[in-house]
Amino acid sequence: MELEASILHEIATDVTSAILRNAAAPLVGRGGSSDIYRAELNIGDQVAPVEVAIKVMRVGVRDVNGENEPPRKAIRRLLRELSVLEGMDHPGVNKLFGYSHDFGELPAIVSLWCPHGDAKTYLRDNPDADRKKMLLEVTAAVEYLHTLQPPVIHGDIKATNIFIKENGTPRWMAHELLFNESADPRAATKASDMWALGCLALEISTGEIPWQAIQCIPRVIALVYCGFTPPRPTGEIAARLLDDDLWHLIETCWHHDPDQRPDISTFRKDLCHVLKTECPYASSPPSRRPLSLVPYAGLIIALLLYVLYV
């Protein structure tokens, strides 16, 4: 399968020759339509190579109707994702280095590797982590995505998603995504992102996933169909961090009517007020802000990379 080199060069940088040939590239994750490898990349005059994540899109994956995806559609997905990633400039969104030809039928997407893993694992291993700061930084990154022109819809916001298919998972999905009169799946929207962001805020501030006490996914779906939203956790972490004001703010994200949910900028402003803190950085920071100035953003980078692009 051939892809016009001129099209790729217009979108991103070919870093094939900069990936170390003597470095192993282990498979570290599988998504609904792609695989993630870890490798090393030489960058200019930098002495030590940097670790990178290599996203390899699979060709011929099955869509929601059980049909194999045409190769041309996979190519369009690749070009679209490269184009979107190349235009990103925010400390909470992963840094794109370019693409490589050495990992699959299609060019692979090469971006910064985040050693801390996903947010759920990080919080489990670091129970004293600054959860409020994490929530603020995630919210700032989502605001950045939603206020781009055209807006970028995340589509599957959750703390752990490296192995999750593109269509999302019911515990984090908005009512309108689960129940649609049309036979075709409904596209994610800013409003459905806000529902999922509320679920993520619940995870970060309590250490529990939505509907933690219910193991049966069909039962979760039935409860959402009947108009119920995730119950308020009462564990030790929730007792410390989830006060009434924060809980009520999270609940606004779960309004049955998508139009009644807050937009991301309103939510971020209200979150800063509830947490009685200044927002960590503007939603649109100065161009090419060095990653070294925001060391904590590494965790948020991991979260957004694997949700957006796996």
Binding positions are: 55
3-state secondary structure 205-250: HHCCCCCCCCCCHHHHHHHHHCCCCCCCCCCHHHHHHCCHHHHHHH
Binding positions for ATP are: 55
CB–CB of 135/279 below 8 Å?
Answer: no
- Pairing relationship of beta strands 34-41 and 96-100 according to DSSP bridges: unpaired
C-alpha–C-alpha distance, residues 116 and 122, integer Å: 6
CB–CB of 305/94 below 8 Å?
Answer: yes
Place of tokens 């169909």: 225
C-alpha–C-alpha distance, residues 303 and 93, integer Å: 9
Cα separations (Å) of 24 from 15, 47, 177? 17, 19, 40
The SS3 of residue 197 is: helix
Q: Could you write out the DSSP letters of every residue in 131-192?
A: HHHHHHHHHHHHHHHHTSSS--------S--TT--TT--GGG--HHHH--SSSSPPPP-HHH
